[in-house]
């Protein structure tokens, strides 16, 4: 594993960083990254660019915490963003390279992420977790229902399946959680369930325990429509409604970067056309 940088925030510093990043309601936006995804010209640059190109999304960068799981990613993050946190995942796991889907290191990273999210809840912060292979167009927090404890995206949203509370297939790349005893208990139960569902990722386990844990802890779980939180699995590209677009159902960093760059370029053209239309209307 890549050696940790010389100066690394300790666990106590996480609370300080979250406090500086929190918006109204004690909410932060978070993402995870490693060296492969953070290298210049890679997904980190595209991810941050989308916030600057979105509709009033640039102010959200003040509330974005980027969690780096290796030293190189942490150092690169600090060059382009003020709110970076180094998460020491321990020895024996190489987190620097691109991780093949369902590989041992990939699964380890997913569960490290899950455990870290629980720590954030325990510190009293709500979080909106966003994968870095997501481009932002609008403030997605505006589509988080007030009454939900956990809001999560899905690869394919089924309108006729009891949505938004029905048995959708979860995608943890977009995940909002409110801090409470019941939500923390849900997350801890989710993490422990990996021992039963061995060699599986967090989303697979989530889908198998979500109903039981929701009932057990009184958690209100909400799935969000892909019309607002979209992706390549179900590409409803109506830019008048979309808040984010996920590079899901794509394998490989290079392909994700190419296709998401294309989507962001489409968004830019849409914004220009909308502006021209508005100017013609007022002239």
Residue predicted with more confidence, 12 or 19: 19
Strand partners, 68: 33, 86
Q: What is the C-alpha separation between 95 and 36, in angstroms, rounded?
A: 9
Q: What is the C-alpha separation between 179 and 102, in angstroms, rounded?
A: 29
Q: What is the C-alpha separation between 245 and 240, in angstroms, rounded?
A: 13
Q: Is the pLDDT of residue 67 over 60?
A: yes
Residue 106's pLDDT is: 60
Q: What is the C-alpha separation between 72 and 38, in angstroms, rounded?
A: 8
Residue predicted with more confidence, 112 or 165: 112
Q: Is the pLDDT of residue 2 over 50?
A: no
Kindly state the tokens that stand for 66. Answer: 């980027």
Residue 93's pLDDT is: 58
What string of H, E and C letters represents the secondary structure of the chain?
Answer: CCCCCCCCCCHHHHHHHHHHHCECCCEEEEEEECHHHHCCCCHHHHHHHHHHHCCCCHHHHHHEEEEECCHHHHHHHHHHCCCEEECCCCCCCCCCCCCCCCCHHHHHHHHHHHHHHHHHHHCCCEEEEECCCEEECCCHHHHCCCCCCEEEEECCCCCCCCCCCCCCCEEEEEEEECCCHHHHHHHHHHHHHHHCCCCCCHHHHHHHHHHHHHHHHCCCEEECCCCCEEECCCCCCCCCCCCEEECCCCCCHHHHHHHHHHHHHHHHHHHHHHHHHHHHHHC
User: How confident is the model over 9-18, as pLDDT tens digits?
Assistant: 445 789 999 9
Residue 280's pLDDT is: 75
Residue predicted with more confidence, 137 or 90: 137
Mean pLDDT of 118-126: 97
Q: How far is CA 195 from CA 169, 192, 201, 211, in A?
A: 21, 6, 11, 18
Tell me: cis bond preceding 164? Omega within 30 of 0 counts.
yes
Mean pLDDT of 123-137: 98
Residue predicted with more confidence, 240 or 7: 240
Q: Could you tell me the pTM of the whole model?
A: 0.89
User: How confident is the model over 20-65, as pLDDT tens digits?
Assistant: 999 999 999 999 999 999 999 999 999 999 999 999 999 999 999 9
Q: Give the side-chain half-sphere CA count within 13 A for 280.
A: 6
Mean pLDDT of 149-170: 78
User: How confident is the model over 195-245, as pLDDT tens digits?
Assistant: 888 777 788 899 899 999 999 999 999 999 999 999 999 998 999 999 999
Residue 202's pLDDT is: 81
Q: Is 252 left (phi over 0), alpha (psi -120 to 50) or beta?
A: left
C-alpha of 238 from chain center: 21
Kindly state the tokens that stand for 122. Answer: 């325990």
Residue 109's pLDDT is: 76
């Amino acid at each position: 594993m890549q050696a940790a940088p010389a100066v690394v925030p300790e666990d106590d510093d996480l609370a300080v960083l979250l406090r500086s990043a929190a918006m109204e309601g004690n909410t932060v936006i978070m993402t995870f990254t490693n060296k492969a995804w953070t290298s210049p010209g890679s997904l980190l640059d595209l991810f941050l660019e989308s916030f600057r190109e979105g509709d009033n999304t640039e102010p959200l960068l003040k509330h974005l915490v980027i969690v780096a799981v290796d030293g190189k990613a942490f150092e690169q993050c600090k060059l382009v963003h003020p709110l970076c946190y180094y998460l020491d995942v321990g020895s024996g796991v190489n987190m620097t390279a691109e991780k093949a889907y369902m590989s041992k290191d990939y699964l380890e990273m997913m569960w490290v992420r899950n455990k870290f999210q629980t720590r954030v809840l325990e510190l009293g912060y709500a979080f909106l977790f966003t994968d870095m292979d997501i481009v932002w167009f609008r403030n997605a927090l505006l589509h988080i229902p007030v009454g939900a404890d956990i809001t999560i995206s899905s690869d394919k949203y089924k309108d006729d399946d009891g949505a938004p509370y029905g048995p959708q297939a979860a995608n943890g790349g977009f995940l909002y959680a409110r801090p409470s005893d019941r939500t923390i208990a849900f997350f801890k139960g989710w993490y422990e369930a990996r021992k039963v569902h061995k060699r599986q990722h967090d989303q697979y386990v989530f889908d198998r325990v979500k109903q039981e844990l929701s009932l057990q802890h009184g958690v209100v779980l909400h799935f969000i429509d892909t019309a607002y939180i979209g992706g390549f699995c179900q590409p409803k590209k109506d830019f008048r409604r979309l808040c984010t677009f996920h590079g899901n159902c794509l394998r490989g960093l290079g392909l994700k970067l190419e296709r998401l760059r294309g989507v962001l370029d489409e968004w830019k053209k849409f914004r220009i056309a909308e502006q021209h239309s508005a100017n013609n209307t007022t002239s």
